[in-house]
Amino acid sequence: MKITHIKYPFVLFLIIGILQACSIKKYIPEGEKLYTGAELKLDTTGKVNGLKEIEKELTALIQPNPNTTFLGMKPALFYHYKAQRERPGFIYKFLNKSFGEEPVYFSKINPEQVEELLLNRLDNNGFFYSKSNSEAVLEGKYASINYSVTVQSPYTLENYQLDNDSLPIYQELQKIMKETPLSKNDRFDLNLLKAERERLDHGLKQRGYYNSQANLFIFEADTNQYKNRKFDLFLRLKKEVPKKASIPYTIDSITVYPNYSIEGDTIPISEQNRTAVNGTDFIQNEYYFRPKLLETYLLFNEGDLYDANTSKITGDRLSSLGSYKYVNIQYTELDTTMTNGDGGSLAADIYLAPLTKRSLRAEVQAVTKSNGFTGPGIQLTYSNRNLFKGGETFSLSTNFSYESQLTSGNNSNLSSIAWGLKGDLIIPRSIPFSPKNFRYSVPKTKISAGVDFLRRSQLFTLSSINGSFGYTWKENRYVYHQLDPISINYARLTNVTEEFQTILDDNPFLRRSFEQRFIAGLLYGFTYDEVSDLDKDYPIFFSTNMDIAGNLFSLIDGGSGTIIGSEYAQYAKVDADFRFYLRWGKEQTLVSRVYAGWGVPYGNSETLPFVKQFFSGGPYSVRAFDIRSLGPGNFNAELEDSTTDYFDRSGNLKLEANLEYRFPIYSYLKGAFFIDAGNVWLTGNYDDLETDQQDSNFSNNLFTDGKFESDWLKEVAAGFGFGARVDIQNFVIRLDLASPFRVPYQPENDRWNIPFFGNNGNKMTLNFAIGYPF
């Protein structure tokens, strides 16, 4: 196996590598040979599993790497040699500084040291008594090394037990060992033993052993009892373990400082600023946080055994309140520790440094949308943290934007003015439940209310009022829930122009979508997300949302189908988003995604409300098509001489799939290649709406072309593209250029297209967006 090392970007070498016109052989000093790499050959004695993994691990130990080779040349070394001349010139100085490598000579290689590393790694993995040797291969000015390793059959575990001792800590260790991941016939692995030590130490720290350390444990492997490469593993403590490391600690006192200053200002303790709640003291000069409420976020009490895990979770809970920028839990050993033979005592001090209580943020935005609308916007947000001295955060935001559609054709010269006001109150607990009912994370109650106004020139004015009441909480590191038992939206369409009225008259499906003014129901979202765990090579992401509306109104409307004189929507909607990430190398990722969403109107509704319908196309969907430019099915709104194409292309069923390869280019600049596919369709019975449409001006039948049928695969849109992203600490600015290779709204025999070069259907679409598409 030849060891090579490609260090620099392919494109740079392609450009500058051709500059190497001469062989580097003449630059090699007399008496030196250039090291060109090594080959590793493995032989086995007996049965050895996972030989490829062993070979890969051993190969990584062979150092140093030879100079970089590209297309049979060594440009990096060539630039170095050129730069060493008396007058190297500016170009070679620059190339050497940017890409040059110092030569790796054979005289620097120490094969004996490498052999020792190889055998040591095999010993650490249980392949005791393996053998290795090396042989130098000299060819003129060049030299390489051949390493040969004979791998013995590994030693496997027969018994794992704890040495007996009367100390109480041994009893706790015995309990922790029952959950060990080590099992009979496991191969000896030093890394597994280190992990087992860490697990034992972590277990003791959850049982009061405040001064426990992993390096206090010793493993002894006994191979003398067996002749078939078996070993017994014994665990014991070091002989001279400090007494304080072998005794449990209890929490003797808890003191909380709710408005501590990071600058180190001391808080004078007096009866006026001290409040005791369930044995916990709260000391604050100024009454900042209600002690009775803050106490519910603490998961340990006076008299409890010290528990490192509980302490960490308590710190996380206090940080998640949103009121503090600094949370520090400190423990101090009390003087009684060394006089009490059964255990020690700790004083717990919790220092909480508040965030700035009030803030005002202004954001000026420049918006460019895939549907052609472009314009400026401004958003003002006022925040008040710890509003009622219980960690509550109130925010009030207002936004204003103006957009104008710059596209040509019938949709040009459209403009819109949008204005909104929204208030949010986030309470860091689930009303009416206590925070102590949720151990992992503090649930939050969110109450929202807002108004929105949209004036679209030449078409309509849409005003709406919305409100919601719900909860969000994390069940564990990966699982997140959101539940809104109350969600209400009332929208009213006014100032309808003759042009838009014609659109509504021509499209009863669209008209019915706008007639449903009231949307009231229940929302639930579930998310399982491993992506943020960088230790996982194959993380997954799964999210699903359920939206059920109108059922309560249907029980109280008396059969009228209206509430306070307005029609309400009744439907059920669900969607699911699954993603699989394959990570390897340095920042290289292959992401596959499948998305499905389906909404079913029933009872009082014939269609989904317009704002609840599915759309396809755009920077977060099928990127080879503009936003809302696909579907339903093979319906082609572009054939209509009107502005309807923006409104008609929706459905109550959506299917999408994406595949994207992400890779680094240089520093913060990343690249990607991707394939997207998907569309939206109509499902259900629209006979009444089709009857209403018979006298309309549509030349294509929306309901016939848009229905989901058994041959739906023929109506899937697909595109290919590539992109560049600037990723600075997870703030991503993205540009994606894509072109379709399947256009569903073209004639059935003319839907395939050559991306970027074909003349069929859509040409190229440039998407600008913030954040990754998925």
740 within 8 A of 755, measured Cβ to Cβ:
yes
pLDDT at 270: 56
Q: Crossing angle for the helix pair 190-205 and 308-319, nearest 10 degrees? A: 70
Is the preceding peptide bond at 609 cis, omega within 30 degrees of 0? no
pLDDT at 418: 85
Three-state secondary structure call for residue 715: helix
The beta strand positions in 278-392, using DSSP E, are 280-283, 324-333, 344-354, 358-368, 373-385
Q: Where along the chain do the CATH 3.10.20.310 domains lie?
A: 10-152, 249-354
Q: Which helix (H) or strand (E) holds 57?
A: helix 51-59
Strand partners, 378: 364, 400
- The CATH number of domain 156-245, selected from 3.40.50, 3.40.1350, 3.10.20, 2.170.130: 3.10.20
pLDDT at 8: 43
122 within 8 A of 149, measured Cβ to Cβ:
yes
CA 607 to chain centre: 35
Strand partners, 324: 354
* 114 CB-near residues (< 8 Å, 6+ apart): 61, 62, 63, 134, 147
738 within 8 A of 623, measured Cβ to Cβ:
yes
pLDDT at 16: 45
Q: Side-chain half-sphere of 65: how many Cα atoms within 13 Å?
A: 11
Three-state secondary structure call for residue 331: strand
Q: Which helix (H) or strand (E) holds 509?
A: helix 508-515
Residues lower than pLDDT 70 in the chain: 1-22, 264-272, 336-341, 365-375, 403-414, 434-437, 516, 637-648, 686-701, 759-762
Q: Where along the chain do the CATH 2.40.160.50 domains lie?
A: 526-534+552-774
Three-state secondary structure call for residue 613: coil
N-term to C-term CA, the chain: 38
pLDDT at 646: 54
Alpha-carbon dihedral 202, 208, 210, 213, rounded to 10 degrees: -40
Among candidate residues 503, 477, 195, 167, the one with its CA nearest the CA of residue 343: 167
Please give the Cα distance from 741 to 718 (Å, whole number).
6
Order of strands, sheet of 217-222, starting from the edge strand that comes earlier in the sequence: 156-162, 230-237, 217-222
- The CATH number of domain 10-152, selected from 1.10.4100.10, 1.10.3720.10, 3.40.50.10420, 3.10.20.310: 3.10.20.310
Three-state secondary structure call for residue 475: coil
pLDDT at 724: 94
Residue 529 Cα distances to 259, 578, 589, 628, angstroms: 34, 10, 16, 28
Encode 635-691 in three state secondary structure: CCHHHCCCCCHHHHCCECEEEEEEEEEEEEEECCEEEEEEEEEEEEEECCCCHHHHH
pLDDT at 267: 56
pLDDT at 93: 87
DSSP 158-182: EEEEEPP-SSHHHHHHHHHHTT-S-
- The CATH number of domain 249-354, selected from 3.10.20.310, 2.120.10.30, 1.10.10.10, 3.90.1300.10: 3.10.20.310
pTM: 0.75
Three-state secondary structure call for residue 408: coil
Phi and psi torsions of 143, nearest 5°: -150, 145
Is CATH 3.60.9.10 correct for 526-534+552-774? no
pLDDT at 20: 46
